[in-house]
Amino acid sequence: MSNHQQLEKAQPQQTALAMQQEQQILDRRKTEITALLSERHISSQTISVVIAQMVGTPIRTATDIQLSSMWNEVIGLLDIRFATDEEFDEHVAELVDLNDWLRRQYGPKGMTCEEVCKAYNLLVEGELGMEVFARLAPKYVGSVLKAYRDYLNDNVEYSSVNRQQLLLYPATEPTADQIKARMNALLMQATAIAKTTGDFADPGNSLYTWLEQSGLINPTAEEQAEYMKRAESIVRQLLAEEKAAIPRINATPGQNAKREELTETLKMVLGDSDLIPASYIDRVRAQAKYLYLNDYLKTLP
């Protein structure tokens, strides 16, 4: 094999390794942020916002592919559909202009792709106090992101995190010993909670991930299958309850959109459809890890 051929073969492997190492760094940062804020009893909702801000992909440096992935998630949330190929082609052309506008307006403000998705999640949940427009254009996107910023400014818990400068990530990477010490402290806290209430939330499955990476837990394939089965049953019930809780009279556009989304998801997962939403699968996996973790915590002394 020539040197050129060897180089061509090595490049994809090096790229995959670099991506894996980058993901490991991001996971460590998520774990560290979760540990720091959990120590201060910050809610999982606020922690998810903090993680989106601090570990997310900055809009100013995001690639077109990363922005496209972000918009695909938003499109799924808004349930935007295209009746014809022409409509889809127009949509693609509009997104090119929208990306340019987004980079100009929100790149300098430090917003991340994950924050945009978080904003739209809050929108369809009716948390931003505005109507849901199934349209992606600067006017509407700007309104949503402004409402998102207003929501954070009015959020007492989030404001306290800012005021105490808990969002400031250390200038130097924490050592392995520091991370271990903090996660062990979180483990003790989580164990106490699990034994008294049976409900340690574990935002982002951070504690589960750390325990698994540290070799402290190692669920077998049989256990994973068992917990996935339990989790799926719970998630289906939760989806049904979330749908039932949405009022049919005087519902907001966001609530109506959420009901339609839940109806469609339940129809797919309860039927024989092969098109299972990725968000549903992710939720089941997260629930399975949550169940396994809390069962494990209850076995600790």
> Please, are residues 70 and 223 in contact by the beta-carbon 8 Å criterion?
no
Mean pLDDT of 206-214: 90
Comparison of pLDDT for 222 and 242, the residue scoring more:
222
Q: What is the DSSP string of the chain?
A: --HHHHHHHHHHHHHHHHHHHHHHHHHHHHHHHHHHHHHTT--HHHHHHHHHHHHS-BGGG--HHHHHHHHHHHHHHHT---SSHHHHHHHHHHHHHHHHHHHHHHTTTT-BHHHHHHHHHHHHTT-SSS------SHHHHHHHHHHHHHHHHH-HHHHHHHHTTTT---SSPPPHHHHHHHHHHHHHHHHHHHHHTS----GGGHHHHHHHHTTS----HHHHHHHHHHHHHHHHHHHHHHHHTS-SSS--HHHHHHHHHHHHHHHHHHTT-S---HHHHHHHHHHHHHHHHHHHHTT--
Q: What is the tens place of the pLDDT at every residue in 14-31?
A: 445 555 666 666 777 777
Which pLDDT band, with edges at 50, 70 and 90, does 203 fall under? confident
Determine the pLDDT at residue 1. Answer: 52
Rounded to a whole number of angstroms, the CA Rg of the chain reads: 21
- What average pLDDT does range 180-195 have in this prediction? 87
- Residue 55 in this model has a pLDDT that exceeds 70: yes
Query: What pLDDT sits at residue 254?
Result: 65
The share of the chain scoring above pLDDT 70, in percent, equals 84
Q: Which residue has the higher pLDDT, 68 or 226?
A: 226
Average pLDDT score, the chain: 81
Q: What is the pLDDT of residue 23?
A: 67
Answer yes or no: pTM beyond 0.85: no
What pLDDT band is residue 48 in, cutting at 50, 70 and 90? confident
Task: Express each pLDDT in 98-139 by its tens digit.
Answer: 899 999 999 888 899 999 999 998 998 888 888 888 788 888
Say whether pLDDT at 272 is over 90.
Answer: no
Residue 288 · residue 224 · CB < 8 Å: yes
Task: Give the model confidence (pLDDT) of 62-103 as tens digits.
Answer: 888 888 888 888 888 888 876 776 777 777 778 888 899 999
All structural domains of the chain with their residue ranges: 43-163, 176-297
Question: pLDDT grade, residue 191 (50/70/90)?
Answer: very high
